[in-house]
Structure 1
């Protein structure tokens, strides 16, 4: 199949796969300035922590390109304004902040003219994208090594979408699944629908179909039943932010999935790059949790599901305690959550 790249740099502009239209329509959105990138991230045209990081890096370059000054100090001051606008788009995904920090570091450390700084920013954004793709492939290989030790093929349950669409390409959790499939060690995938935005039903299922991977979509409240029936060999999910102790923020519903995995003695893995680890946060209690508009709950498309006059609570993420996580699959190696601190610089 043709590789899936959610963020594309082409002809001095960014092209994004509009993930709000999948699976029924594949379309590219053209991004020419950083304000458009801010909107694209906020409205989830691009989503998934690593993909958001890549998009934000290009957004920083687009913002830099719009700054009309030859004075270095003025340029850096205005670039910080661009950075702040991008930081405000999605508060939970740490890759966003990491990528912006890398771009600001490039700008502050670059010598030469403002135009040369702008050129260096583009190179940095492209390198972030290339590095993320390689990172995901390494995560896939490490996951294959730790999982493919059973004589039979595995059936994996995943939640939300941590595939090519959520990264620079290939994926984290779905990257491990891809590696298992390529190695002929995968029987199939169970994909939680992932309410309220249905990323599992829409995006993960779409990616699996593109690759010919057998996929079964289930509603979120069917996972415990499937585990009890012995249908699931392991759970693999992605992450939007991981605290230093291994507590992991991921799409809402992940915590509950970890609890029932523990109950049924099903291994529960988190697949994520080390850039997702926020070593400044000691525990997951300090991870900011984004709350989204209640319309995601009370309607699907133009169909209203709930009566007028009720209240809503719509956190986009929850935090899974480290003690419920079997291991974290990184690009370096597979580690117990308690061993993450060994990677702190």
Structure 2
């Protein structure tokens, strides 16, 4: 179809100063160095997407992602987005380690294609639901600050709180402060690879003995230590999730074969959109629960992930709060937020997000 062929493609920096530093066991960020991708089709439909590289996860940087996407521009010119899988495969062959860049490219192609079709992305993905319920993240900060973040989130309607841990010191005190500040909230722990297996088990035992309602323990040990992940899983009573251990569908299969996790956390910036669909299929076939997460993304990137999670369905844990952590206001649409609910709009084709200056 001539109307779905690419006539214009652009890549530009999309830097987001964070309203407050965001600390994990692996990094402390004060700014997100992302990319903004735009696309126009011959028939007039446009696409918009975000790339959010995380060097400490996939090894990508903003400049590196920009370089490979600009190098691929000549291949993209004139390509038919209806063949989005073939385009993605060509990009992957050329740049197999450009995970976040490929995620942005796939989101861009699908957004433009669905806008051409007049269909919301969540319907394109299967239409299982039109909303998801996310948690909100408490970063590594002193316990009193963590309590303030938790209290504000709980008062705003969030019933699931994800607490970053893994630097030692005040981990126990931080989680306990969050639980006390938000009585009734479910607590999810995210170690970001920060523990030895025995340390992870000991901390969780101590928290449970203190009455903290822990519902998930995410990536307690190093990504490559699948034996350590299994050690934790076999000794605790809450589900263990693999995040950094799973970037590709092959990684998901290895984790499941090793008995290393009850849950796999899919992030588009690790797996790409199409890889995320493959991982979800592998996990379902193996009886492994699904989680979807994000990097430091604006409403644009979060919208794509929300559409995928709602459309595919079956995600037991949703962690799509990047737009709250970045605080960026340059994007509008995509979803309506009601507490922890992200409600998608059936009358908005594609992911429904636009630059605030162009909506109207």
TM bin (shorter chain): 0.3 to 0.5
TM-score w.r.t. structure 1 length?
Answer: 0.33
Q: Which has a greater percent of strand?
A: 2
TM-score w.r.t. structure 2 length?
Answer: 0.32
Which of the pair has the greater relative contact order for Cα pairs under 8 Å at 6+ separation? 2
